[in-house]
Chains A and B, each alone.
Chain A
Amino acid sequence: MWEKQELKITKSEVEYVAHLARLDFSEEEKEKFTFQLNNILMYVDKLNQVDTTGIEPVSHAIALNNAFREDLVKESLNPELSLVNAPEARGPFFRVPKVIE
């Protein structure tokens, strides 16, 4: 069904979005995702049937103003505990592969 219509997202766009999302896909996965994402995007296209002129976007269903608190120093996680789950740590730091050549 989707082949007859204009593709919402092409394979090269899938590759670009994957890079933005920091994901890698095999060729087979790219094909499958292109197909599935097209189906989903075509489905959500039905939103264009709704007239939303002048309608404010809602990002939270319960209207809350900023939640303020006193600016006080409180106990926080100590460095040791913060590093407990690190795949790699050295001293008080998270260790990662090199960033700069």
Chain B
Amino acid sequence: MELNQLTIHELHALIKKREVSSTQIIESVFRQIDAVEKDVHAYVNLMKEYAFAEAARADKCIKEGNIKPLTGIPIALKDILCTKGILTTCGSRILHNYIPPYDATVVEKLREAGAVFTGKVNMDEFAMGSSTETSYFGITRNPWDLERIPGGSSGGSAAAVAADECIASLGSDTGGSIRQPAALCGIVGMKPTYGRVSRFGLIAFASSLDQIGPFTKDVEDCALMMNVIAGYDPLDSTSVPLDVPDYTEFLTRGVDGWTVGIPKEYFIEGIDPEVMEAMKRTITVFERIGVKCVEISLPHTEYCLAVYYIIAPAEASSNLARYDGVKYGFRAQEARDLLEMYKKTRSAGFGAEVKRRIMIGTYALSSGYYDAYYKKASQVRGLVKRDFEEAFTRCDVILTPTSPTPAFTIGEKMDDPLQMYLSDIFTISANLAGIPGISVPCGFTRGGLPIGAQFLAGHFEEGKLIQMASAYEKNANLEKRRPNLSLWSTNRS
């Protein structure tokens, strides 16, 4: 087994025993990048020189016995996270040359914990998409099948981990953008509670829904990453001043006597039969380990997508007003006056999906339509939140499929925005209610595509999710597989 195929906790143990160096790990990661990146295209900006210098620095720390939780661990960052002095594009032409003068809080925290950054990874433009096909810098392919999408919007973060082009990564989740690509790439992805992780330095899409979270190869690594990134930050006025537990303590607690809620509204027509079979197998695993599964109801489920497609574009239209060609990023040339400069810059700088959402949002917030759309959606959002509050009086966690289908093929949904939006149908409700969610691998289709199961819990109950996901991971006896990228390379050349 190559070093780049190991987990954070496995590498950490080897580093502690002085059996491997950070330089050896980073060499192994970049060997893999050199071999597969031309096929996968997970990265938009590789930081090879920086990574090797940081690895050398980590090795010095290791020698001195100064070993932190992530010392020497190669980690990739979604290109929506500001990195001081390092290009941050958000997948958009309008920020194609933007070099932030500051670091996002999560970036600082990871660096503080010893992480070595490998580069910035690809995403849908401004995180608006479910397939990583709207990036200005080209598509990312699913390492399990290069003809398919990796999910989105954090498709680069998921593909990089699944293809062993880094050990773990960060992404952001506004309507499922961590959990859905994690499911489609066969890895673990967590969206924490709104306010648990600082959003300072996260380029804003929909501020009341956005959260940063980790992509990892297993649940233990997820706990380790959460330990580093969670916590109050005075620079984010929506971050919550609550103590953060040690999430690794939840890994071994077991879930005997727990109750899992199965929301009947999530098991609907349109779910791929193989996803449904995988869910049934997941329920069987729970019953075997002493977990009670009960049917619950989340009555407003069918309205979540409609609520989301008012609220997210409304917030986005306001957040994206700042891209006007004045302070940073792309500016269109040859404008006669300021207004024309704004219009030319924004029209040439944003891609079609971003413009579509700015248009929906501007319309929904415009005079005469505010009550009918934005206010109505915010009221239904209140009902969605109440559904969850009532559900969690009856169960510890909720189980759903993460995505209604496995990874779809490249281009399949690009011409039909509503079809694309429907791939987020099971993940959006957690963002509306602000609750945490995790996607864990739960098997494969007969064609060899990964399937993900989603667990949801109440506000600030990430520990419960880790406890449940860890118990599931230990007892599901899933086949250990990794994508065979060399096979693809041969076939394609």
Contact = CB atoms under 8 A, between A and B. Distances in A.
B434 A46 contact: no
Interface in B323-345: 324-331, 335-344
Contact of A58 (B300, B360, B385): B385
Nearest to B208: A60
Chain B interface residue bracket vs A: 35 or more
A55 B324 CA distance: 37
Contacts of B435: 61
A60 B305 CA distance: 17
A11 to B, nearest CB: 12
A22 B343 contact: yes
Given A20-B366, A36-B356, A40-B309, A86 B434 contact: no
Contacts of A46: 302-303, 306
A22 to B, nearest CB: 4
A47 interface: yes
Contact of B358 (A9, A23, A60): A23
Contact of B380 (A52, A67, A87, A98): A52
A21 B377 contact: no
B418 interface: yes
B417 interface: yes
Nearest to A87: B331
Nearest to A85: B328
B184 interface: no
Interface string A4-28: 0000010001100110111111000
Interface in B211-242: 234, 237-238, 240
B328 A37 contact: no
B279 interface: no
Interface in B263-318: 300, 302-303, 305-307, 309-310, 317
B303 A23 contact: no
B376 A87 contact: no
A71 interface: no
Given A17-B366, A41-B360, 10 more contacts: A14-B359, A17-B359, A17-B363, A33-B359, A44-B310, A45-B306, A62-B194, A62-B240, A96-B326, A96-B341
